[in-house]
Amino acid sequence: MIEVPFTLLPHADGLPRYASDGAAGLDLAAALPDDAPVTIPPLGRAMIPTGLTMALPAGYEAQVRPRSGLAAKHGVTVLNAPGTIDCDYRGEVKVVLVNLSDIPFTVARGERIAQMVVAPVTRVAPVAVASLDETTRGAGGFGSTGR
């Protein structure tokens, strides 16, 4: 286990937790005032605060991913999935939810709205060249191998 420092803003709901021994993602809870739930209208979106800031080690990122239950049961997902938390980001982690259902969805304080997977990052050094090596695929893409 790699220790990752977090700070909890006053509205935070505690440190994020893995929901099971083998869970890949730390669940992220909505850090909202008790009396101020957020209602997302059909096809609307909302930036939900988590009350967390963190300092990932260099060479790592965190991916903000949807929870499958919210997607399957309510049509609510992470709009920019997977959201990217950079290792040099020190602001509050936020979750951009979108409601793809046809009824409003209300997020209450403490509700788990997304999960955060920490993963290693490979960085590369872009180098300008005149041409690239040839491959069988070449420039074929976007369904070029069939449906």
List of residues contacting ligand DUT (CB under 6 A): 64, 80, 83-86, 89, 93-94, 96
Residue 80 labelled as part of a binding site: yes
In this structure, is the dihedral angle defined by the CA atoms of residues 97, 31, 66 and 82, taken in order, positive or negative? positive
User: Rounded to 5 degrees, what are φ and ψ at 111?
Assistant: -70, 135
The rounded distance, in Å, linking the Cα atoms of 140 and 128 is 22
- Ligand-binding annotation for 122, yes or no, is no
Q: Residue 48, annotated ligand binder?
A: no
Amino acid, res. 96: V
Tell me whether residue 63 or residue 105 sits nearer to ligand DUT (CB atom).
63
Shortest reach from residue 93's CB to ligand DUT, in Å: 5
Nearest distance in Å: CB 13, ligand DUT: 16
Residue 135 Cβ vs ligand DUT, minimum distance, rounded to whole Å:
30
Our CB check for ligand DUT shows the closer of 111 and 145 to be 111
* Identity of the residue, 7 or 140, whose beta carbon is nearer to ligand DUT in the bound complex: 7
CA separation for the pair 69, 124 (Å, rounded): 36
Give the gyration radius of the chain's Cα atoms. 19
